[in-house]
Structure 1
Amino acid sequence: MLNTYPKPDVIIIQEHRLSHIDYTEWVPQLEFMKGPIFWNAAVYSAREDSLADGTAILTSHKLAEGITAHGVIVRSRVQYIILERSRAIKTGILNIYSPNYTRFRSNLW
């Protein structure tokens, strides 16, 4: 039978605007996939007097054992995970949240 409601194994979130403290309050809502959550907190923007940016990668429990590495490349903007499905198959997932302004986007790239 065809599954008409497939469940994702990876969800990528961008511009969540949550600090590490905010994240701890939201964890119960983000754990619905029952797998590891990789967090890249938002940063304070003095220009807007608020938190800005932030990325996250949510994974299902099925992928947990295969995640061999993860990290933040650019604070609040870029993060990654590496999945090893077998010795021959490794998959890297990047979560990139690029700035809206050309000058800032150029600096990121």
Structure 2
Amino acid sequence: MKSNKAKPKQIKAWLGSLANPPQIVLIQEHHLGELDMRNPARGVEFLQGEALWNEGIPVGRSQRTRAGTAILVNKSIAPYIVEHGILEAGRAQFISLQPPGEGTLTIINVYAPTLSTDRTQLWRKVEQVNLTGDHYILGGDLNYQEP
């Protein structure tokens, strides 16, 4: 079994190794739980920006977690965050950005279940959320294969 404790360091090392790093990174299935999220030093600093975590879901009586999403925003984009939140624990979150003089861009990060009934329930929850924005981007692991 791989240790979840190494994942933030691996993500940070990978982002630091990029010659042209992205402005925003969407992460799915990080498997980090509540205890991992409590210690800010364990989080991933992304070019001194924001790391917005949606912790993983505990599995049974064990200390293991599954799922989990995160949105990492670098320091040049972070000042434009006007809203962020969790749409479903461990499965979906959003961030809304509004640069000066521009409309609002809302990014939804999803780690969808593999079972179609569970996936349908997730999409219904996402549809019911009243997000305001001029433009939307939906990204993540949708776990859907079109026939």
Residue 72 of structure 2 is aligned to residue 58 of structure 1: yes
Residue 31 of structure 2 is aligned to residue 17 of structure 1: yes
Q: What are structure 1's unaligned runs of at least 5 residues?
A: none
TM-score by length of 2: 0.64
Superposition deviation, residue 43 in structure 1? 1.2
CA distance in 1 between partners of 2:92 and 2:72 (Å): 14
Kept in 1, the 8 Å contact 2:83–2:96? The answer is yes
Aligned length: 104
Superposition deviation, residue 54 in structure 1? 0.4
Kept in 2, the 8 Å contact 1:33–1:58? The answer is no
- Higher mean C-alpha deviation, range 8-17 or range 86-95: 86-95
TM-score by length of 1: 0.85
Residue 117 of structure 2 is aligned to residue 103 of structure 1: yes
Superposition deviation, residue 81 in structure 1? 0.5
Q: In percent, how many aligned pairs have the same letter?
A: 32
Whose relative contact order is higher, 1 or 2, with alpha carbons under 8 Å and at least 6 apart? 1
Which aligned pairs between 1:1-109 and structure 2 lie closer than 5 A? 5-23=19-37, 24=39, 26-27=42-43, 30-46=44-60, 50-109=64-123
Q: Which structure has greater strand proportion? A: 1
- Higher mean C-alpha deviation, range 47-56 or range 34-43: 47-56
Q: What are structure 2's unaligned runs of at least 5 residues?
A: 1-18, 124-147
Superposition deviation, residue 49 in structure 1? 6.8
